Structure 1
Amino acid sequence: MNLSATLLLAFGMSMDAFAASIGKGATLHKPRLSQAIRIGLIFGVIETLTPLIGWALGLFASKFVLEWNHWIAFALLMFLGVRMVIEGVRGGSEQETTQLRRHSVWLLVTTAFATSIDAMAVGVGLAFLQANIIYTALAIGCATLIMSTLGIMLGRFIGPLLGKRAEILGGLVLMGIGAQILWSHFA
């Protein structure tokens, strides 16, 4: 793969994380740049690892990965989205909610993994193309780091406009991404 194809692939793979990050940034209470970078790093590292995992699986068990990756991503994103909508409707004290969100690394990791399952499938395909997987995975991870950080900061400005509806919107965005992954598989 040439440089332009790799960059297009990298930024294409980062779009799900970008959309999820906008929703996450909108639900956080005025996230700082350091928080945005931390979240971007989580998304970027996971988005770097998943094509490597997909590439390894592609060498051994590509049929299983290709048959189930869309269902796994759909289920994870729907679960996370419904959870966010329920939390948004239920509400809670602002300080309690902000504190919970700030310390919820596992929720971020799960969201990052759910939005990067398509990168795992790409890794499977790259195993058959004999592409330089390290170079491609690093490009995907860097693009995701950039786009997720920007998404968090963009969500920072959208969040105050939406108020408590931001978490509901963020959940709907995650569910929409999951539905889009499933739709694109069947379309």
Structure 2
Amino acid sequence: MSPFSILLIGLAMSTDAFAAAIGKGVAMGRPRLSDALRTGLIFGVIEAITPILGWLLGKAAAVYVQAWDHWIAFALLLGLGLHMIANGLGKEDAEPDAAAAGNGNARSFWLLALTGLATSIDAAAIGVGLAFLEVHIGIVALVIGLCTFVMVTIGVLLGSKLGEMAGKRAEVLGGIVLIVIGAGILYEHLGHAPLAG
């Protein structure tokens, strides 16, 4: 997998967290930089850990599904992409409200952590799919974590100005990117072309 594809995955994985961060920024009114950085760090760390857990799970099963590995990766990316597009086009859910609860206390930390975990489930599924490909999961996890940190920090700071629709549109775009990457993986496999590495 090429570095550009890894970067695209990192950006796509950060869009749902970005949408949640915009919701938090909207609720906070005028968020401080320290609040934005703290939120970005929590989301980024969680988003970096979950694909590694998914990758470990996928590796455990890889020996049983080697003949279908590219189809599995494609199906996961397609399903996640469609799910993100549906979320982006659907009604606003309660997720931003959970992320927008109080600041600077233990309750706020755990609410942010739970929101970060909820938005990182797709990253775990990505990890499962990547277990069937020739890719260094540590690099992918780091890129996903850094992209999420940056996107969430920006989302919190700009939330009151961008509004919730910007976050939803980003999630739709992220879903489209995942589908395109999945189609590319399947095309390389069916065309007997070597994977970019």
**Aligning the two structures, in what range does the TM-score lie when normalised by the shorter sequence?**
0.5 to 0.7
Aligned-partner Cα distance in 2 for 1:21–1:30: 13
Distance in structure 2 (CA, Å) of the matches to 1:24 and 1:36: 9
CA 1:83–1:8: 2 relative to 1, 3 Å: closer
Q: Does 1:153 align with 2:165?
A: no
- For these two proteins, the number of residue pairs brought into alignment is 147
Q: Which runs of 5+ in 1 are unaligned?
A: 88-96, 160-168
Is the CA contact 2:13–2:148 (under 8 Å) kept in the aligned structure 1? Answer: yes
Residue 46 of structure 1 aligns with which residue? Answer: 46
Q: Which has the higher helix share?
A: 1
TM-score (norm. length: structure 1): 0.65
Separation of aligned partners in 2, 1:37 and 1:46: 14
Alignment check: 8 A CA contact 1:21 1:151 kept: yes
The equivalent of 1:124 in structure 2 is: 128
Verify the 8 A CA contact 1:28 1:101 in the aligned structure 2: no
- Partner residue, 2:2: 2
The percentage of aligned residue pairs carrying the same residue is 47
Consecutive aligned runs of 4 or more in structure 1 exceeding 3 Å deviation? 81-85, 156-159
CA separation of 1:115/1:32 partners in 2, compared to 1, >3 Å: closer, same or farther? same
Following superposition of structure 1 onto structure 2, how do residues 4-153 of structure 1 map, counting pairs within 5 Å?
4-60=4-60, 81-82=93-94, 100-103=102-105, 104-153=108-157
1:83 deviates by 7.5
| CA distance in structure 2 between the partners assigned to 1:83 and 1:130 by the alignment | 34
Seen in structure 2, the aligned counterparts of structure 1 residues 140 and 157 have a Cα distance that, compared at 3 Å, is same
Local SS of the residue matching 1:128:
coil
Assess, with a 3 A threshold, how the Cα gap between structure 1 residues 56 and 83 changes in structure 2: closer, same or farther.
closer
- Give the Cα–Cα distance (whole angstroms) in 2 for the partners of residues 82 and 7 of structure 1: 29
TM-score (norm 2): 0.62
Q: Report the Cα distance in structure 2 between the residues aligned to 1:22 and 1:82, rounded to whole angstroms.
A: 13
Contact persistence 1:44–1:141 (CA under 8 A)? yes
The CA distance in 1 between the partners of 2:16 and 2:95, in whole Å, is 18
The Cα shift of 1:131 comes to 1.1
Match of 1:163 in 2: none
Q: What is the rounded CA distance, in whole Å, between the counterparts of 2:52 and 2:9 in structure 1?
A: 15
Gaps of 5+ in 2: 66-75, 88-92, 179-197
